[in-house]
Amino acid sequence: MSETAVATLIDGDVSAFTYGCDYNPEQWSAETWLEDARLMTDAGVTLVALNIFGWAQLEPVRGHYDFSALDAVIEILHEHGIGINLGTATASPPPWFSSDYPESLPMMADGTRRAFGGRQAFCPSSPAYREHALALVEKVAERYGAHPAVRLWHVSNEIGCHNAHCYCDTSAAAFREWLRARYESVDAVNDAWGTSFWSQRYASWEHIQTPRLTVSTGNPGQALDFMRFSSDELLAHFRAEKAVLQRHSAAPVTTNFMVTAHIRNQDYWSWAPHMDVIANDHYLDHRLGDARSELSFAADATRGLAGGRPWMLMEQATSAVNWQPLNLAKAPGQMIRNTLSHVARGADGISFFQWRASLAGSEKFHSAMLPHAGTDSSVWREVVELGRILEKLAEVTGSVVAAEVAMVFDWQAWWATDLDSHPSAEVRYLPQVHAVYNALLAAGVTVDIVAPGAPVDAYKLVIVPSLYSVTDAAARVLADYVAAGGHAVVTFFSGVVDEHDRVRPGGYPGAFRELLGVTSEEFVPVPRSAVLSLSDGQNAGLWSERLRLDGAEAVSTFTNGPVPGVPAVTRNTSGDGVAWYLATALDEPSLRATLVRAAAEAGVEVPVERDAGVEIVRRVGASGSWVFIINHTDAAFEYQTQGTEIITGAELGIRASATNEISKDGTLDVPAGGVRVVRESRTKK
């Protein structure tokens, strides 16, 4: 990854947040463009994503290009001093393309094709799509590659949001090529996929297909490889567009990731190194138990993809979205609070979808910076206020988030864990990851999200939630870390299979057995309604195991359920370090208490007890440190500190000096629903 700093995109010499939006001027008249640019200036907008869905306007008829409208909009924005995050417009091919190339329409697992009429209606392996998309990118890059307003390139849009998996014959041929490169021989594929089972052994490459719907359960190895292939296929497309852009432009190139709970199609650990800037889109998902915690998790995971460096929030909503069953409007202050959670967790750029609320199309009830009601609206006033706050916070940009704990997270393990025919359909990857993350969040412990096998020596504690599939190499990194004195917590259903979804024999948790000093003979899941009681008074559910100690000590045992007397939580001294195993799904208070105990033992600074709805995160930079106190509760919160609160300008805890007898109180009052950011006068860890 090259080192383009988000905060220097607008003016290389001045560090500031980028603030902006997606702008779809195709939907508006030329008079509106002018009004928009003026209002953007009022709101403090500095970066606008343009031309995201522009293909039908730029190439209305095959091979005939018309750039007049885009030229005009770019000039208007440029004249108003607004930078451009220029889309390549390839996210959605126009009607003529689907009509000329019907075979490019994506095929579903059941063998039916999807029609034109939504967006992203193309097969990722379609040669016609690749050819026409790159021809368009060439034209766009030639025309605007050296334009001074273009600060960033935005390839396509949320790549693979709708069309990640295509099951057509073209995809099958590309899948076979991908398999040839990975395995070299059909026999190696057979071994990896375990095709001796159910008479699935392949004698020829030509017989291998995409995993279309089958009458019984399909082959899990094939399903996993197809997901890897599909992620690689779209990454290859991103790279092809990037290569064209780089021939015409020196501006950095990115695309907007979807690090979110409801889309898991791309292995972003493999995508991240190809981005010049890491950008994420995030929307509160009220279908989840805890939308606010998921926001923090997504922000931390995005920072992980950025290797700890600042990143950009490319899309969020000012208020409601339009695509959930019940689209909740944000409460007053919530948008600013949510935004500053992203900032606290490393975002140096904040953008919204979209600038002006559409009047037509399926997103007309999606909120925007400028709502249907216009500027006399609380959404608009909050948008303007956020612009002012980000200006005040400019000094924070470039700093990084301080974390002593790492948590391992993996898209490929997510795919593998959620395959069917497992011990319990109730055990899904993301809920287990979220449970661990949320317990740490509630305890006030900031975590970095890391890939399996990433170096973790810098952390005091590494947590590995339900990492069902793991490579030998990644398991070794954790074992070496603990041997050298590190502390680790591994939770149930981890280490079970290798990267081909083949079980590691000799007992569970396979790859981590030795590290954890335990062996499990059998998984014994329980119904969701069952409450498992543990000998130390804690409670758990979902899962138990026929576990025996092979060197570890039992921290607690089950006192009821199918395996009474069997260890539930264990602790093993391994080399110079310590490794815990949680062989069950502890309930929230029990999980929090156990993780806090492991963290404290590892020397992690655990904040004092406070309401879990108060989020406290510290960013640290060359010139100092800033603590963000985000109060999601209905009650005011008092925080003791020394320094200057940047949003209100309040000085706190400034000590008396010989010449000046003023001694200010160090109590910061963070109002209910409010956010305060303190430049600390003493840097804490």
Q: Which is nearer to ligand GAL, 281 or 680 (CB)?
A: 281
- Three-state secondary structure call for residue 77: helix
Judged by CB under 6 A, the chain residues 110 through 149 that form the site for ligand GAL are none
Q: Is residue 206 annotated as a catalytic residue, yes or no?
A: no
Task: For residue 662, give Cα distances in angstroms to 468, 588, 647.
Answer: 59, 45, 22
Question: Cβ 8 to ligand GAL, closest distance in Å?
Answer: 25
Crossing angle of helices 220-248 and 169-183, rounded to 10°: 90
> Which one of the spans 5-13, 26-34, 156-164, 423-431 is the region binding ligand GAL (CB under 6 A)?
156-164
Q: Which is nearer to ligand GAL, 193 or 283 (CB)?
A: 283
**For residue 520, what are the contacts with CB-CB under 8 A and spacing of at least 6?**
507, 508, 509, 545, 546, 547, 548, 583
Task: Say which amino acid occupies 59.
Answer: E
Question: Cβ 91 to ligand GAL, closest distance in Å?
Answer: 8
Question: Cβ 419 to ligand GAL, closest distance in Å?
Answer: 26
- Three-state secondary structure call for residue 403: coil
- Please report which residue ranges of 55-126 form alpha helices under DSSP H: 55-58, 68-79, 95-100
- Three-state secondary structure call for residue 224: helix
Question: Cβ 323 to ligand GAL, closest distance in Å?
Answer: 6
Q: Which is nearer to ligand GAL, 170 or 231 (CB)?
A: 231
> Which one of the spans 141-149, 154-162, 489-497, 638-646 is the region binding ligand GAL (CB under 6 A)?
154-162
Q: Which is nearer to ligand GAL, 356 or 366 (CB)?
A: 366
Q: Which is nearer to ligand GAL, 28 or 65 (CB)?
A: 28
Q: Specify whether the CB–CB gap between 283 and 260 falls below 8 A.
A: yes
Residue with tokens 């950011």: 677
Residue with tokens 């949680």: 582
Q: If residue 615 lies in a helix (H) or strand (E), which one and from where to where? A: strand 614-621
Q: Is residue 315 annotated as a catalytic residue, yes or no?
A: yes
Q: Which is nearer to ligand GAL, 353 or 626 (CB)?
A: 353
User: Which of 157, 210, 231, 538 lies at the binding interface for ligand GAL (CB under 6 A)?
Assistant: 157
The span from the CA of 426 to the CA of 420, in Å, is 11
Question: Cβ 280 to ligand GAL, closest distance in Å?
Answer: 11
Pairing mode, if any, of strands 347-352 and 18-22?
A: parallel
- Name the E strands within 149-189: 150-154
Question: Cβ 51 to ligand GAL, closest distance in Å?
Answer: 12
> Which one of the spans 157-165, 335-343, 461-469, 656-664 is the region binding ligand GAL (CB under 6 A)?
157-165
User: Which of 49, 150, 277, 321 lies at the binding interface for ligand GAL (CB under 6 A)?
Assistant: 321
Q: Which is nearer to ligand GAL, 290 or 363 (CB)?
A: 363
The span from the CA of 628 to the CA of 617, in Å, is 5
Start-to-end Cα distance in the chain? 28
> Which one of the spans 155-163, 203-211, 227-235, 507-515 is the region binding ligand GAL (CB under 6 A)?
155-163
Question: Cβ 362 to ligand GAL, closest distance in Å?
Answer: 9
Q: Which is nearer to ligand GAL, 363 or 550 (CB)?
A: 363
The span from the CA of 413 to the CA of 469, in Å, is 5
User: Which of 337, 366, 592, 632 lies at the binding interface for ligand GAL (CB under 6 A)?
Assistant: 366
Position 315 contacts ligand GAL (CB under 6 A): yes
Judged by CB under 6 A, the chain residues 275 through 314 that form the site for ligand GAL are 281, 283
User: Which of 229, 353, 355, 508 lies at the binding interface for ligand GAL (CB under 6 A)?
Assistant: 353
Position 382 contacts ligand GAL (CB under 6 A): no
Burial of 115 (0-12, 13-18, 19+ CB in 10 A): exposed
Question: Cβ 157 to ligand GAL, closest distance in Å?
Answer: 5
Q: Which is nearer to ligand GAL, 335 or 598 (CB)?
A: 335
Position 158 contacts ligand GAL (CB under 6 A): yes
Q: Which is nearer to ligand GAL, 294 or 404 (CB)?
A: 294
- Three-state secondary structure call for residue 648: coil
The span from the CA of 312 to the CA of 275, in Å, is 12
Q: Hey, which residues does 370 pair with through a beta bridge?
A: 356
Q: Hey, which residues does 645 pair with through a beta bridge?
A: 678
Question: Cβ 365 to ligand GAL, closest distance in Å?
Answer: 11
Q: Which one of the listed residues 158, 233, 382, 680 is annotated catalytic? A: 158
Question: Cβ 158 to ligand GAL, closest distance in Å?
Answer: 4
Neighbours of 635 (CB within 10 A): 12
C-alpha torsion sign, points 207, 208, 212, 217:
positive
The torsion angle over the Cα atoms of residues 409, 412, 414 and 419, rounded to 10 degrees, is -160
Return the closest-CA partner of residue 317 out of 287, 350, 293. 350
Judged by CB under 6 A, the chain residues 495 through 534 that form the site for ligand GAL are none
Q: Specify whether the CB–CB gap between 327 and 475 falls below 8 A.
A: no
- Three-state secondary structure call for residue 426: coil
CA 479 to chain centroid? 27
Judged by CB under 6 A, the chain residues 588 through 607 that form the site for ligand GAL are none
Question: Cβ 315 to ligand GAL, closest distance in Å?
Answer: 6
Q: Which one of the listed residues 59, 233, 294, 315 is annotated catalytic? A: 315
Position 338 contacts ligand GAL (CB under 6 A): no
Position 330 contacts ligand GAL (CB under 6 A): no
CA 18 to chain centroid? 20
The span from the CA of 188 to the CA of 192, in Å, is 6
Q: Which is nearer to ligand GAL, 281 or 498 (CB)?
A: 281
Residues touching ligand GAL, count (CB under 6 A): 10
Point out which residues bind ligand GAL (CB under 6 A): 157-158, 161, 281, 283, 315, 321, 353, 363, 366
Instruction: Just list the catalytic residues.
Output: 158, 315
